[in-house]
C-alpha cells in the first residue's frame, strides 16, 4: 500500500539493479526502504524523509491511491532477514494538514517458529556469544542494514563546489560533503582505502593521479587532478562531469562512515555506455569487498552488461505496472534470460533494447 506498490514481494541480493519505463515504480521501492529507515530512527517528519531522497506527497498519495476507500489504510512493509528475523512495519496518518506519520513495528512469530524447530540447541552451543535470545535478535537485526538507508542522486553542482555540506553527513543525497569525506579516508591508518579510490579512477584513460588534502579542519576546498596528457594539473572545478560522478560512487562504497545499504538513482547519468558496463562490474566488486548492499536504477542498457546473473548476490529486476496500475517486478535469472531467434546467447543490453526483457514503453 505504498504509492504504486499495492502488494509486492521481492527477494533482493547484495547488488540490485532495476530497469523499467518512467513512472513504473522503480524509485517507489527504494523510497519504501527510506520509510523503514526513518521508522528505525523514529524520524518520520517530512524534512527527514526529503533529506534522505524520498519524494513526499500528501499522505493520501503516499498510500496506493487506486481506490478512494483505501486513503486511510495503513502502509505495511515487511523485512525478512535470512528467514530468521521478520520485522513488520505499519505506518499510519490521519490525513489532516501538517499531520505526521506514526509507525509501529514488531517481530513476527516466524521467529518463534524458528526457535521451535530444533534450533534451541544451537543457541546453547553458542551461549558464550548469545547470552539470551534477545541478544541473538539484536545481533541479527544489526545485519539488516536499512537504518541509515538513503537514495543518492548526485548533481554536478554539488560535486563541483566543495564548500557546501548537506544536512546529511557524511554525504548528502546530491553529493554534498564529498571533499571532507575524501580527507577523512585519506587519513585512515589503512591506506588501502584511499588507494582503492585512486586505482578505480584508472577507468579513465587520461587519468594519472589525484591529490587530496589531509587536513580535515582546513578550508582548502579542492582536489588536484593530474591528466597524463597535460603539463598542468587542474581542480575538480574543471574536471569532467562523469569523473566526478564516479569519484562520488567509489567513495560512497569504500568509506567506513557511509551507510551499509543505500540506493543510487540513475547510476548511468553522464557516463559513456562502455564505461557504464565497466562501472557496474567495479561497483559490484567493491560492494563485496567493503560489505555494502546497493540498489541501483538505470535507463542505460549498457549498465546491464556489467551484471553477472550467475552470481546469486547480483539481481536484475524489470519493473512494470499491471492492468490495474500496480507496480510489478520480475527478476531476470540465468534460466529465464532471453535468447536470440537462433537460440544464441544475447547480451542483456541487446535483449533490453529488443524488448525481450520488458521495461520499455508500449504506447508508441
For 137-165, write each residue's pLDDT tens digit.
Answer: 666 656 566 789 999 999 999 999 876 67
Question: How are beta strands 261-264 and 293-297 bridged, if at all?
Answer: parallel
* pLDDT (0 to 100) of residue 132: 59
For 53-86, write each residue's pLDDT tens digit.
Answer: 999 999 999 999 898 887 889 999 999 887 767 8
Cell of 269: 547519468
**pLDDT over 50 (residue 113):** no
> Got the DSSP string for 12-71?
--SEEEEEE-TTSSHHHHHHHHHHHHHHHTT--SHHHHHHTT-----HHHHB-TTSGGGT
**Residue ranges of domains in the chain:** 15-57+147-354
* pLDDT (0 to 100) of residue 134: 58
| Cβ(296)–Cβ(15) below 8 Å | yes
Gap between the Cα atoms of 237 and 160, Å rounded: 5
| Cβ(323)–Cβ(25) below 8 Å | no
For 278-310, write each residue's pLDDT tens digit.
Answer: 999 999 999 999 999 999 999 999 999 999 999
| Cβ(72)–Cβ(95) below 8 Å | yes
* pLDDT (0 to 100) of residue 206: 97
CA angle 169, 170, 172 (to 5 degrees): 65
The domain covering 15-57+147-354 belongs, at the CATH homologous superfamily level, to P-loop containing nucleotide triphosphate hydrolases (3.40.50.300)
Name which of 254, 260, 264, 257 is nearest 285 in CA terms.
Answer: 254
* pLDDT (0 to 100) of residue 141: 59
Q: Residues 150, 251, 163, 170: is their CA dihedral positive or negative?
A: positive
* pLDDT (0 to 100) of residue 115: 42
Query: Facing residues of 273 across strands?
Result: none
C-alpha neighbours within 13 Å on the C-beta side of residue 322: 11
pTM for this entry: 0.90
Name which of 309, 358, 304, 295 is nearest 330 in CA terms.
Answer: 358
Amino acid at each position: 500500500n505504498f504509492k504504486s506498490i499495492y502488494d509486492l514481494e521481492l527477494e533482493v541480493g547484495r547488488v540490485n539493479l532495476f530497469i523499467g519505463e518512467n513512472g513504473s515504480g522503480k524509485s517507489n521501492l527504494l523510497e519504501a526502504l527510506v520509510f523503514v529507515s526513518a521508522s528505525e530512527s523514529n524520524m518520520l517528519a517530512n524534512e527527514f524523509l526529503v533529506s534522505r531522497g524520498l519524494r513526499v506527497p500528501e499522505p493520501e498519495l503516499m498510500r496506493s491511491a487506486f481506490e478512494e476507500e483505501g486513503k486511510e489504510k495503513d502502509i505495511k512493509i515487511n523485512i525478512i532477514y535470512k528467514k530468521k528475523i521478520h520485522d513488520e512495519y505499519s505506518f499510519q496518518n490521519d490525513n489532516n494538514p501538517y499531520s505526521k506519520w506514526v509507525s509501529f513495528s514488531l517481530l513476527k512469530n516466524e521467529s518463534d517458529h524458528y526457535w521451535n524447530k530444533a534450533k534451541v540447541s544451537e543457541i546453547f552451543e553458542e551461549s558464550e556469544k548469545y547470552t539470551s535470545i534477545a541478544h541473538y535478535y539484536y545481533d541479527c537485526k544489526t545485519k539488516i542494514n536499512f537504518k541509515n538507508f538513503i537514495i543518492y542522486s548526485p548533481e554536478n553542482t554539488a560535486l563541483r563546489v566543495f564548500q557546501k555540506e548537506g544536512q546529511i553527513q557524511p554525504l548528502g543525497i546530491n553529493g554534498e560533503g564529498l571533499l571532507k569525506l575524501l580527507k577523512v579516508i585519506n587519513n585512515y591508518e589503512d591506506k588501502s582505502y584511499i588507494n582503492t579510490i585512486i586505482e578505480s579512477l584508472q577507468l579513465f584513460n587520461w587519468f594519472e593521479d589525484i591529490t587530496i588534502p589531509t587536513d580535515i579542519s582546513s578550508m582548502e576546498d579542492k582536489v588536484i587532478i593530474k591528466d597524463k596528457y597535460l603539463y598542468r594539473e587542474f581542480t575538480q572545478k574543471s574536471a569532467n562531469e562523469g569523473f566526478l560522478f564516479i569519484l562520488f560512487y567509489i567513495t560512497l562504497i569504500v568509506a567506513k562512515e557511509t551507510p551499509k545499504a543505500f540506493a543510487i538513482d540513475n547510476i548511468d547519468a553522464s557516463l559513456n555506455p562502455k564505461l557504464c558496463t565497466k562501472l557496474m562490474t567495479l561497483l559490484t566488486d567493491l560492494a563485496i569487498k567493503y560489505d555494502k548492499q546497493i540498489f541501483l536504477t538505470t535507463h542505460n542498457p549498457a549498465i546491464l552488461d556489467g551484471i553477472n546473473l550467475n552470481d546469486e548476490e547480483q539481481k536484475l529486476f524489470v519493473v512494470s505496472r499491471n492492468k490495474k496500475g500496480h507496480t510489478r517486478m520480475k527478476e531476470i535469472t540465468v534460466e529465464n534470460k532471453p535468447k536470440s531467434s537462433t537460440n544464441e546467447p544475447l547480451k542483456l543490453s541487446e535483449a533490453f533494447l529488443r524488448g525481450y526483457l520488458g521495461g520499455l514503453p508500449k504506447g508508441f
